[in-house]
């Protein structure tokens, strides 16, 4: 019988994994890291010497706890004859732990088919967490939006969702009935949704040199469609990982894909690019950056098989390309046109914030 410790002993996880667990005293020490416990396989805290009293809970190996531990690769660790469950080798600089997200992860993992290999699920933990974090973000951000009619909970009846395809991305098969505008209910409808989680999109712009940085990389969608040019001009973009904000993701992706730092983000209208069948939500930003000659080059993470090339383009040329139909990437097209409309306002705001006007530019730089 293991002793639950740290995040695994939290009431939200205990209730799902070992509801009959009983208090079993405490252990003196301290826990380092653990900000991604229950979210990432390597996110569990490590035990270290210290003077904190860490609560322990005696638990049976319930089917839920055994399956959960197998998915995360958790094994009991022996400390002075006690078998502690809930420890790993997490880095001490992990973000603050999110118990509600960890609880949602537990619910999701335990609901997956029992015959799905634990190792296969473990490989998908980052994307599962990204998707659940996206769902929580959507609920929080849209709770107060005006409705054209009754809330979704009153207009849609859904059967349990199935997941016939689950790799890096996944597909959810949904059966639902909708309350029609004429007052009746539809027969059950089958829908398939491509699940990828929220993403952040940022267009780096240097307002002093009035140029942007674009990237290109091979894209599977245009390739599958038969596009003769599946390398598209596009923006910096990437998934919003569980535990970070869209703004943090924008700054992180800019460094990973281009090596440049974003000093300030201006939010453009966020949106669903293809809501009929894709659950992706995009957070769009223009990012203020220093883009001198020579700042473009090659980038991307080898661990993600990225092969990215960046380009410096005058903002006026980007606008021309957008209006001429030469930009075929939707988020870039949106940001190009939005920046054309807003670049003067952004310049004025930067000047009002006290940004330095470089030598050689007139004092009225921000009053264009």
**What Å distances lie between residue 243 and 105, 110, 348, CA to CA?**
13, 21, 34
Residue 326 pLDDT? 94
Any known ligand binding at 256? no
Give yes or no: residues 232 and 343 share one domain: yes
Give the DSSP H or E segment for 252: helix 246-258
C-alpha to C-alpha distance for 363 and 353, rounded to whole angstroms: 14
Residue 289 pLDDT? 95
Give yes or no: residues 49 and 167 share one domain: no
Give yes or no: residues 244 and 129 share one domain: no
Residue 92 pLDDT? 54
Highest mean pLDDT among 63-72, 141-150, 226-235: 63-72
Q: Assess whether pLDDT exceeds 70 at residue 79.
A: yes
User: Among 27-41, 91-105, 144-158, 316-330, which is the least confidently predicted range?
Assistant: 144-158
Any known ligand binding at 253? yes
Give yes or no: residues 60 and 190 share one domain: no
Write down the catalytic residue from 52, 159, 304, 317.
Answer: 304
Residue 116 pLDDT? 92
Q: What is the SS3 assignment for 132?
A: helix
Give yes or no: residues 176 and 116 share one domain: yes
- Give the pLDDT confidence of 209-257 residue by residue, as tens digits: 999 999 888 888 888 888 888 889 999 999 999 989 999 999 999 999 8
Hey, which residues does 172 pair with through a beta bridge? 193
If we measure between CA atoms, which residue out of 151, 142, 166 comes closest to residue 272?
A: 142
Residue 358 pLDDT? 47
Percentage of residues of the chain with pLDDT beyond 70: 92
Confidence band of 363 (pLDDT split at 50, 70, 90):
very low
C-alpha to C-alpha distance for 87 and 2, rounded to whole angstroms: 12
C-alpha to C-alpha distance for 51 and 34, rounded to whole angstroms: 18
**Is the model's pTM score more than 0.75?**
yes
Any known ligand binding at 306? yes
Give yes or no: residues 334 and 303 share one domain: yes
Percentage of residues of the chain with pLDDT beyond 90: 70
What beta strand segments (E) does the chain contain?
3-4, 22-32, 46-58, 77-79, 82-85, 156-158, 162-166, 170-178, 189-195, 199-206, 211-218, 231-234, 236-239, 264-267, 282-288, 298-299, 308-314
Hey, which residues does 189 pair with through a beta bridge? 176
Output the DSSP codes for 146-194: --SSS-HHHHEEEPPPEEEEESSSEEEEEEEEEB-TTS-BPPPEEEEEE
Q: Is 102 part of any domain?
A: no
- Mean pLDDT on 324-331: 94
Give yes or no: residues 252 and 329 share one domain: yes
If we measure between CA atoms, which residue out of 50, 48, 61, 51 comes closest to residue 20?
A: 61
- Mean pLDDT on 141-168: 82
The residue range of the domain holding 41 is 3-93
Give yes or no: residues 335 and 208 share one domain: yes
Residue 261 pLDDT? 94
Active site residue 304: yes
Q: Is 144 part of any domain?
A: no
Highest mean pLDDT among 155-169, 220-234, 268-282, 342-356: 268-282
C-alpha to C-alpha distance for 248 and 255, rounded to whole angstroms: 11
């Amino acid at each position: 019988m293991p002793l639950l410790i740290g995040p695994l002993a939290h009431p939200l996880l205990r209730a799902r994994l070992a509801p009959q667990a009983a208090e079993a005293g405490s252990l003196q020490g301290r826990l380092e890291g653990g900000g991604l416990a229950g979210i990432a396989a390597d996110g569990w805290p490590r035990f270290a010497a210290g003077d904190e009293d860490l609560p322990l809970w005696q638990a049976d190996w319930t089917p839920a706890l055994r399956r959960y531990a197998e998915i995360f690769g958790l094994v009991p660790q022996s400390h002075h004859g006690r078998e502690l469950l809930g420890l790993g080798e997490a880095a001490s600089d992990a973000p603050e732990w999110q118990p509600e997200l960890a609880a949602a992860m537990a619910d999701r993992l335990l609901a997956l088919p029992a015959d799905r290999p634990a190792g296969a699920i473990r490989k998908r933990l980052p994307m599962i967490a990204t998707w659940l974090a996206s769902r929580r973000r959507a609920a929080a951000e849209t709770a107060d939006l005006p409705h054209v009619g009754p809330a979704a909970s009153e207009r849609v009846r859904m059967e349990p969702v199935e997941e016939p395809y689950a790799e890096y991305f996944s597909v959810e098969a949904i059966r639902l009935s909708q309350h029609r505008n004429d007052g009746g209910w539809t027969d059950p409808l089958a829908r398939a949704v491509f699940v990828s989680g929220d993403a952040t999109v940022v267009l780096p712009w240097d307002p002093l040199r009035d140029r942007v940085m674009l990237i290109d990389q091979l894209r599977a969608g245009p390739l599958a469609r038969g596009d003769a040019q599946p390398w598209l001009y596009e923006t910096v973009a990437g998934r919003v990982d569980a535990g970070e904000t869209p703004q943090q993701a924008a700054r992180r992706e800019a460094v990973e894909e281009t090596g440049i730092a974003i000093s300030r983000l201006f939010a453009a209208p966020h949106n669903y690019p293809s809501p009929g069948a894709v659950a992706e939500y995009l957070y769009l930003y223009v990012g203020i950056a220093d883009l001198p000659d020579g700042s473009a080059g090659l980038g991307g993470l080898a661990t993600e098989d990225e092969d990215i090339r960046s380009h410096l383009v005058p903002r006026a040329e980007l606008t021309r390309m957008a209006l001429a139909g030469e930009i075929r990437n939707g988020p870039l097209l949106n940001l190009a046109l939005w920046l054309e409309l807003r670049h003067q306002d952004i310049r004025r705001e930067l000047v009002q914030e006290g940004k330095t006007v470089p030598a050689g530019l007139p004092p009225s730089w921000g009053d264009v």
